[in-house]
Every structure is written in C-alpha cells, then in structure tokens.
Amino acid sequence: MASPYSDGAREKVASKLPAVLRQELKTRAAQLGIDMQDAVTEAVEQWLVRPASQNPVIDTAGAESWNTWLPAGLYAAFKTDCADRDISFVQGLAQAVRVWVDSHSVSLSELTIPQYTRRIVVCNQKGGVGKTTIAAGIGQAIALGLPASTGGSKLPALPGLRTLLVDYDPQGHLTSQLGIKQIPPGEESLVTHMVERDRATGSLLDQVVPIAPGHFDDRLFLLPSSFDAFLLDSRLGSVRGPRETSLQRALAPLEEHFDVVVLDAPPNLGLAMDAGLYFGHRRKNEPTGASGVLVPVEAEDSSADAYAMLDSQIRTISFDYEVEVDRLGLVVNKFDKRKGYVATHSLEMWESLESPPVVAVVPDLKEQREAVHLKQPLLMYAPTSTQAQRMREIRRRLG
C-alpha cells in the first residue's frame, strides 16, 4: 500500500520486512551515513534492473509491518515487476534489501558510529509554563536549520533535520495549535501502541502528519494527540512488564525515519511522565547531552517548587533503572521584567543554578499568541520576531 507523501515527490509505502533484515538495513545505512529512505530507494532501483535469477530467496515468515518513503511511481513499477516475476511484494522487497546490504560492505575507513535519533523531552509538572510553545518552537527551528553567523562569533551553519513533534500531552494543545485534528476514538494512536500492543496492527507512521511542508522543506512532522490520552496513566497501571519502557517501545519504529524527536510531555508526575523521562534517557554509546529533558520554567516562586519535584522524579527514574537522564537546560519562558523584583530575582535564581544552564529567556510577547490563534507555526507566522529568535538560540545551544 502506498499513500501520497506531502508534495507528491515521494510515496509512503507500507509493506513488511523480516525484523533481522530490517535491523541489518538500519545498521548498515547508519554505518555508511546514508539516509534509510535513500538506501531503500537504491535497493529497489537495483532490484528492478537485476535479473531474477541473481536474487536470493528470502525467508519472510514472521515479517513485520514496516514503512518507508519511495520516489513517486517507483513502488508501482516495483509491484508490476513482482507480478511479472510471480513473487509477493514482501519477497521482492526483502530480496532488494538483502542484496543491497550484502553489496555495501563497510571498511574501517568508511565506518561511522551509528547515531541514535535524538530525543528531547520538554517537560514540567506545572501547567501554564509554555511547554507546548517551547516544544513547537524548537522543533520548527531544528527542522529549518540555522545559517552560519556573520558576526564576530562566526558560528557554523546547522543543517535542517527531519523532526517529529510528539503530542504526548492529553490536553492536545500542540495538535490544536498547529491546526491538526486529534486522532478520533477507535483509531490506533500512541496510547494504543503503548498499552494495547496486541490490538495495534497498523503502524504509527500512518498517523504522522506533515506540518507546512513547503515552509519546512518536508522536515517537520507531528504525531497528534488522541482522545483516549486522558486515560493513559490509569491504563499504564495494567500493562504487563516495565511500564516505564512502554513509550520507548511504541516510538521505536518511528525513530529510523527522523533525526530528532521532540516530545511535549504531560503536566504531571504520573506513570506517563515516568515513561516520558525514560524515553529521553541516554542510550548506550550516545554522547552526553544529545538527548534528555528541556524544562520550561517561569520567573516566579512556584516554578521553582515544581522543578524541584520534577528533578526528584528524574533522579528516581535514573536510580531505579540505572540510566542517565541528561538535563539539557532550562528555558525561562514568558519573562516580563515589568513584573519587577519577583521576576528579576527569580531569573537570577535560575541562572545561579548553572547546572542545568538557562539556555534562553523568552519574553512574553504577542506574536506567539497570535500564531496560536491563527493555528500557524511561530517561525512561519513571525520568523523575525524576538520569540522566534529565541527558539533559534535554543536550537544553537542544544547543538
């Protein structure tokens, strides 16, 4: 099955692939620094011109659902050739991938360390601090990339990266702000894949929606919230096995399609937040500070109390599961110095922590509220605004 990609240049292809072969493909593409989509495209193109007698027969028993994107029209040509060769689409795709992997051996000089998809968990148990604003803004800045600076600092350019925004907050503000509909009841969602894996027969990739593809060069996407997300904490209580790993398991099939995942976390300290923090933990061989938590706060006293509780929860998850959850930084959001001593003193307090560092101070200005009202991404609606510039600063500080 193929569904149209955002601008018609590519089609999203839903097929099946043996798990072991899929992992080999992912590893080899990462070792060579090749995009997964480009690797599969090359594999299919090679398969189309190779005589059928030169293709191995692959054991596809137990093949699992798998999705990728191919240039428009390529999958149709592939299916026609499969029919002519009297083999299934699954067998043809497995043959193509198998030969591609085997023909792309890696020498030591070519080998690069496979990179994990970076995971940025934007979280704070306190509501109203602007988590969604920060999650959306940095996701947009990451997707757009940054030009090299022309000032005295001469900072290098940062490329635009394929970015997936995940609306993990049951209130669905991120989904609503970007003008996308929530996943309706009865359809598979992130919650389904976390707590009802036996019932989840499709792919979460089918629910991913492109955001303003023309503006963000097909690099910004959203996994919308769902109406059943309000029940996630209670339903996680009945999950067999470690509940904290449920989010990581559900999102794992999506990671190979994106460079960065930005998670807009729920405003609480429950089981869903435990799973969110675990998702952001530093994985084996992942560099320090690549993934972790980014915490929006306000310049007022109650924000400090909320952060202390969040920090305690992070420590508990780290201790219980023997993992490291890196604190990427604090974003002092909605700052207004006209509020006087309370605001300025609180800002000084946040900056005095040093670890985690304050990566940006975002002022309380009208452009963000206008963008939300119009359901447009901030960096598209007001790209030169002070708030938009602060989002780029956060992107720069995160590396």
Tens digits of residue pLDDT in 144-189: 999 887 666 678 888 999 999 999 998 899 999 999 999 988 888 8
Percent of the chain with pLDDT over 90: 47
Supply the pLDDT for residue 186: 81
For residue 278, is pLDDT > 60? yes
What is the model's pLDDT at position 5? 47
Q: Bridge-partner residues for 72, per DSSP?
A: none
All residues at 6 or more sequence positions from 188 whose CB lies less than 8 Å from its CB, including other chains: 199, 200, 201, 202, 204, 206, 207
Place of tokens 């904490």: 233
Does residue 1 have a pLDDT over 60?
A: no
User: Stretch 360-385: mean pLDDT, rounded?
Assistant: 92
- What pLDDT does residue 299 have? 80
Lowest mean pLDDT among 88-102, 112-126, 368-382: 112-126
Amino acid at 44: V
| Beta strand 64-71 pairing with 10-17 | antiparallel
Of 61-65, 114-118, 275-279, 373-377, the one with minimum mean pLDDT is: 114-118
What confidence category does residue 221 fall into, taking pLDDT thresholds of 50, 70 and 90? very high
Average pLDDT (259-273) is 91
What pLDDT, on the 0 to 100 scale, is given for residue 314? 93
Asked if residue 114 has pLDDT above 70, the reply is no
- pLDDT reading at 376 higher than 90: yes
In this structure, the strands spanning 260-264 and 118-122 are: parallel
Instruction: From 106, 119, 17, select the one nearest 63 (Cα to Cα).
Output: 17
Average confidence score pLDDT of the chain: 86
Cis peptide before 213 (omega within 30 of 0): no
Q: Is the dihedral of CA 37, 257, 65, 223 positive or negative?
A: negative
Q: Where are the domains of the chain?
A: 2-103, 118-398
Q: Which residue has the tokens 């629910």?
A: 207
Q: How many CB atoms lie within 10 A of CB 45?
A: 17
Q: Is the pLDDT of residue 199 over 60?
A: yes
Spatial contact of 99 and 43, defined as CB atoms under 8 Å apart: yes
Is residue 32's pLDDT more than 60? yes
Q: What is the pLDDT of residue 112?
A: 46
Is 121 a residue whose pLDDT tops 70?
Answer: yes
CB 138 within 8 Å of CB 126: no
Per-residue pLDDT for 109 more than 50? Answer: no
Query: Radius of gyration over alpha carbons of the chain, in Å?
Result: 22
pLDDT of residue 378 exceeding 60, the answer is yes
Which architecture does CATH list for 118-398?
3-Layer(aba) Sandwich (3.40)
Q: Which whole-number Å values give the CA distances from 41 to 73, 115, 289, 292, in the listed order? A: 11, 21, 33, 33
pLDDT given for residue 152 in this prediction? 63
Check pLDDT > 60 for residue 250. Answer: yes
Residue 2: pLDDT over 70: no
pLDDT confidence of residue 238: 67
Q: Is the pLDDT of residue 122 over 90?
A: yes
Contact 357, 321 (CB under 8 A): no
Higher-pLDDT residue of 104, 242 = 104
Higher pLDDT, 303 or 310: 310
**What integer is the mean pLDDT of 248-254?**
90
In DSSP notation, 9-64 reads: SEEEEEEEE-HHHHHHHHHHHHHHT--HHHHHHHHHHHHHHS-GGGSPP---TT-E
Report the alpha-carbon distance of residue 399 to residue 388 in Å, rounded: 17
How many Å apart are CA 295 and CA 124, to the nearest integer?
6
In terms of Cα–Cα distance, which of 139, 137, 133 is closest to 119?
139
The distance in angstroms from the start CA to the end CA of the chain is 38
Model pLDDT for residues 231-241, shown as the tens digit of each residue: 787 777 766 65
Closest C-alpha to 226, from 265, 280, 290, 168 = 168
Instruction: Count the Cβ atoms, other than its own, within 10 Å of residue 332.
Output: 23
β-sheet bridge partners, residue 11: 4, 70
What is the tally of helices (H) and strands (E) in the chain? 16, 11
Q: How confident is the model at residue 107 (pLDDT cuts 50, 70, 90)?
A: low
Residues 6 or more apart whose CB falls under 8 angstroms from that of 357 comprise 329, 330, 397
Residue 147 and residue 107: Cα distance in Å, rounded?
33
Q: Is the pLDDT of residue 394 over 90?
A: yes
Distance of CA 58 to the CA centre of its chain: 32
**H helices within the chain, ranges in order?**
19-32, 36-49, 74-84, 89-103, 131-144, 173-177, 190-195, 213-216, 232-236, 246-255, 271-279, 301-321, 341-353, 366-374, 378-381, 386-398
Residue 360 clears pLDDT 60, i.e. is over it: yes
State the pLDDT at residue 373.
93
The average pLDDT across 210-231 equals 89
